[in-house]
Amino acid sequence: MFSLMGGHGKVEGSSRDVLERLANHGVPLEGYGTIKKIVAFDLPQWRLFFARQFEGRTISQVLRQIERWKALLRRDFLLLTNQKGELERWISGAESVVWQALIEANSEVGPWKLGLIFVPTGQDDSGAVYIFPGLRIVAFNLKTKETRQVLIPADEFNDPARSGDAYRRAFKNLRIWDLLWKGPAGKGLISARKPQGWPVFTHVVIPQLYEYLILYYKKPSHYSDRIDSPDRRRPARFPGELLQDMLELLRMEHPNVFARTTAPQLKSIIQKYLGRKEEVLSRPFRPQNLN
């Protein structure tokens, strides 16, 4: 798994150290799979990559710019064949990022829920075979229960020069092209702050990682005459070992983001999250009228 935040994890020895510390706190071996999902796998990777590559521009703007370049290259007679080929490959790569970000941002489109299914190319003893498969896009209307589907043939889906046009044609055939969200792909994920302060980390990754790990780092907090009693003390909310191990896990997956982050800074992010959580929990419950 590559990190879209730059670079790979830290050295293997450091990974072993943090895994040993997690195990010492009772985190099961399979629990690291959950941690990996929280810190890396569950991130909207393509939207983040789009946002870093194209900054504040929208998906629509980048698609239009790509079409302009394609049209220019079709008319061009100045560039040498190898020069034109290099530009076409670069544009195809950029276009692939845009379409993946668009798909990632549109799992639900109005009343429509989208599903992508690879079409098997054959069968062997172990089951279906997927070697350069085609792609079936299924749109299911949650209100009317209508299902629409369209197939992108394998030869188009696996050809970088044609896959972009195939995606556009597929969504138009599904009659949902105009419904697709094509704004800035990083909306709600990144901000003008340094990456360690982006909402995707401060509102999603760090809170989820904290909630998962705090259960394994139980220790009594500093005694308070105002809150605690001699026979009952509150559990610590910010154990130093927890903060250090969280930092290590974040640095392994996103070294360029959290290399300079300190434990007090991480604690501040968690405190703000807990403040938001307590505010939500303190709101009075108002039952909705379901009639």
**Residue pLDDT, tens place only, 202-234:** 999 999 999 999 999 987 655 454 554 555 556
| Secondary structure letter of residue 107 according to DSSP | S
Name which of 265, 204, 267, 252 is nearest 18 in CA terms. Answer: 252
Question: Tens digit of pLDDT for each residue in 98-144?
Answer: 999 999 999 999 999 999 999 999 999 889 999 999 999 999 999 99
Q: What are phi and psi of 229, to 5 degrees?
A: -120, 160
Residue 262 has pLDDT above 70, yes or no: yes
- Tell me which DSSP letter residue 229 carries: B
Confidence of residue 10 (pLDDT cuts 50, 70, 90): very low
Domain ranges of the chain: 12-43+189-223+232-281, 45-179
Angle at which helices 206-213 and 263-282 pack, to 10 degrees?
90
**Strand 134-141 vs strand 147-152: parallel, antiparallel, or unpaired?**
antiparallel
The single-letter code of the amino acid at 290 is L
Q: What is the pTM of this model?
A: 0.77
According to the model, what pLDDT value does residue 289 have? 57
Residues 187-203 as b or e (16 or more Cβ within 10 Å = b): eebbeeeebbebebbbb
Averaged pLDDT of the chain? 88
Burial label for 123, CB within 10 Å (0-12, 13-18, 19+), is: exposed
Q: What is the largest CA-CA distance in the chain?
A: 85
